[in-house]
Each structure stands twice: as C-alpha cells, then as structure tokens.
Structure 1
Amino acid sequence: MTSSDLLSALALIAVAVLMAESVRQLRRRWLLVKVEGVSMVPALRDGEEVLAKRTRRIKTGDIVVAAAPDPQLGWAEAKRAPSARLAGRESAPSPWWVKRVAAGPGEPMPGSGEPVPPGHYFLLSDNPAGEDSRRHGPCPGNLIVGSVIRSF
C-alpha cells in the first residue's frame, strides 16, 4: 500500500466521521414530525410535516412539539407509565403531540383562570375537538421538545 493510498483511505474515513457528526448535530437541533389527526386544523392538517427547532425558549402563541401524555395519567406521569407495547397494545400512538401554547408559567389557564404552575405550559389544540391540557393538565416544560418553525 502506497502512502497516497493510505492518505486517501484516511481522508475517506475523516469525511465519513464528519458526515456522521453533522447528522448528529442536526438531529440535536432540529426535529421533523408528522401531524396526525385534526386537532390542529386549520393551522396544520393531518399528514403535514412540521420542522421544529429544539429550544427551551417557549412563549404563548407558539406551536410546539411535546412528548405525548400518558392517556390515563396525563403529562405529570407520562415518563413513569408503561409503554403501549409493554401494555400489550399492537400500535402505539405517536410519541409527539403538536399543540399551541395557550399560557405559560404564571399566566391564567384558559377556562379556570388559575395560574399555570412554574415550569409548565398550558397547551391547546386549534380544533376544540382535540385532546390537550384541558384533559391532561399543564405540560411540564421539560417535555416540550421545541417550537415549530415551518410546515410542509
């Protein structure tokens, strides 16, 4: 093996490592989610995809991607509940919900007027028929993955 062959092989390995790291960095910063259902009509329709930027800077009016709550226990217990596969269901619901922030920490919750607890957000569907914080309670801020910046 000549030195130019070795150099070419090392360059190829370096390019592959850099590409893998680039993809990893993009995935840490961005999230592509498919909208399922009609809960966000008319802003977003079933089957559309949204690009969300991972951020902790969330404000009222933003459309966000959040971890889906446990169907019975809500967001507060979503991390402790068994997954759908472990519970014996054949198809698990989407792990992500796309909702609009109706109120942030300390702001009055729609319907009750009570303040949203610190570190939580009150998330609503644009379509009143959708499930949201009215059923599952305020969403902990650490379960909000990012803010939607574009739909496709």
Structure 2
Amino acid sequence: MNAYAMIGAAGLAAGAVLAVRRRLLVIEVVGDSMNPAYHHGDRLLVRRTRRVERGQVVIAHHQEGGRREGPVAPYMTTWLVKRLVALPGDAVPDAVRDAVGDDDVVVPAGMTVLLGDHPGSADSRSWGFIPLADITGVVVSRLAGHGW
C-alpha cells in the first residue's frame, strides 16, 4: 500500500469514528431511579436523536426545578436517565399533578414528562415539566453493568 492510500484509509477511518461519535454516546447510570430496568453502574448505549416516543428511556440534561444545570453533587452526572411518559398535548399524568398545578390538563408545547421507574426517583414528580429540547437521545441497549 502506498503512502497516499494509507493516508486516505486513515482519513476515512477518522471520519467514520467522528460520524459514530456524533450519533452514539455511552453513559453510566448513576443512582437507582431506573430500577428495575437499569441499575447504578450500568453503561448504556444512547443514540442521539430528537425523535422520541412515549415509553422510551431517554437521556436529558440534568434538571433542577426545570432549569438546565450542571452536576448538582460530586457523584451525579449531567445526564438524567428517565422514561418518557408524556409528550406535548398528552394528558398530564396524575403522578406529576402536584408539581405542575391543577390548571395544566395537557402537557404544554415544547415540554415533556419524564419519570424514573423507581417510585422514589427525582423527576417530573418533583420538577414538573422538562423541556423537550433538553432530551439528547434514546437508550438503545445496556453495554455492561448489573447482570453482565
């Protein structure tokens, strides 16, 4: 293989890596909010996308009172791993009614409801609506962790 072919192959490989990194993300679950589906320490493969559906497990920027925040404690990450339970126009689930107020009967435009599978999870039950724009991707699979 000549030098030009090697440079071309290296460039193609680097381009492929960059393309994959733009579309895929590996994150680690911190905490127990998604038990029993996912556990603390699980590593998840996430496909970056804005196209989400009700019932999917998604990752979103960490929320505190509906505002995008950085890490809130040394052991927490900037990612939330939660289940998408309501999209704009859906009925507001009873579980979050206290956090959003009784006046809201449907999820407003541009907002979602995200809940952890564990009932003690910090999520829309305490924060209320979470901006749809803060969702970064959908969990594709567990790569390693509990049960591996």
Bucket of the pairwise TM-score, normalised by the shorter protein: 0.7 to 0.9
Shift of 1:136: 1.8
Aligned match for 1:17, one of 11, 17, 30:
11
Distance 1:126 1:44 in 2: 9
Flag structure 2 segments of 5+ consecutive residues without an equivalent. Answer: 98-103, 144-148
Q: Which residue of 1 aligns with 2:41?
A: 47
C-alpha separation in 1, matches of 2:90 and 2:3: 59
Q: Secondary structure at the match of 2:2?
A: helix
* CA-based RMSD: 2.0
Q: CA offset at residue 99 of structure 1?
A: 0.2
Q: Which residue of 2 aligns with 1:125?
A: 116
Q: Residues 31-74 of structure 1: CA distance to partner in whole angstroms, max 9, x if unpaired? A: 111111100000111111111112222111110011111x3xx3
Compared CA separation, residues 120 and 90, structure 1 to 2 (3 A): closer
Matched to 1:95, the amino acid is T
In the alignment, what sits opposite 2:134?
A: 143
Letter in 2 for 1:58: V
Measured against aligned partners, the alpha-carbon deviations of 1:64-114 in whole angstroms (never above 9, x if no partner) come to 011111x3xx33x31xx5x45xxxx88373111110011111112222262
1:91 aligns with 2:82: no
TM-score relative to the length of structure 1: 0.79
More strand by share: 2
Look up the match of 1:3. Answer: none
- Highest Rg: 1 or 2? 1
Percent identity reads 37
Alpha-carbon separation, structure 1, partners of 2:73 and 2:87? 35
User: How many Å separate the matches in 1 of 2:109 and 2:55?
Assistant: 18
Once the two structures are superposed, the pairs formed by residues 108-119 of structure 1 within 5 Å of their partners are 108-111=91-94, 112=97, 114-119=105-110
